[in-house]
């Protein structure tokens, strides 16, 4: 089974800050990685697919990069509406979600 780790598990940043979350796979998954945003009480929302492609309608301040085992998700300028938990997900071999990163406003 492929295991996914994320860091940090939580972070607090100011509006306008650049926020970076990392995700690591236990083995090479090429670019078979997605990023989701989940707000409290809501279903997750796809933001980034295939590691670096922005889903239609998602603001351009969100971006993703990486391949192999190491991936990065970035919010270039944090907005109040970005308060949420962010999950990475691999689909190289079935599906595995990372444990999530909770993002708060400082």
Partner 1 sequence: EVQLLESGGGLVQPGGSLRLSCAASGFTFSSYAMSWVRQAPGKGLEWVSAISGSGGSTYYADSVKGRFTISRDNSKNTLYLQMNSLRAEDTAVYYCAKDHNPWRVQGVGYDYWGQGTLVTVSS
| Binding interface with partner 1 (CB under 8 A) | 1, 32, 34, 36, 38, 43-46, 49-50, 55, 85, 87, 89, 91, 94-100
C-alpha to C-alpha distance for 51 and 32, rounded to whole angstroms: 7
- What minimum distance in Å lies between the beta carbon of 39 and partner 1? 12
- What minimum distance in Å lies between the beta carbon of 58 and partner 1? 11
C-alpha to C-alpha distance for 14 and 84, rounded to whole angstroms: 14
Residues 35/27, Cβ–Cβ less than 8 Å: no
Closest to partner 1 by CB, 5 vs 77, is 5
CA torsion, ordered 11, 54, 50, 30, to nearest 10 deg: -60
Closest to partner 1 by CB, 76 vs 85, is 85
């Amino acid at each position: 089974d492929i295991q996914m780790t994320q860091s940090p598990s939580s972070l607090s940043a100011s509006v306008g800050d650049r926020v970076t979350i990392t995700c690591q796979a236990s083995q090479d998954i090429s670019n078979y990685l997605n990023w989701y945003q989940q707000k409290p009480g809501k279903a997750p929302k796809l933001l980034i697919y295939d590691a670096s492609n922005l889903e239609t309608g998602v603001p351009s301040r969100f971006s993703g990069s990486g391949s192999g085992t190491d991936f990065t998700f970035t919010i270039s300028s944090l907005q109040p509406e970005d308060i949420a938990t962010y999950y990475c997900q691999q689909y190289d071999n079935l599906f595995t979600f990372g444990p999530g990163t909770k993002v708060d406003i400082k």
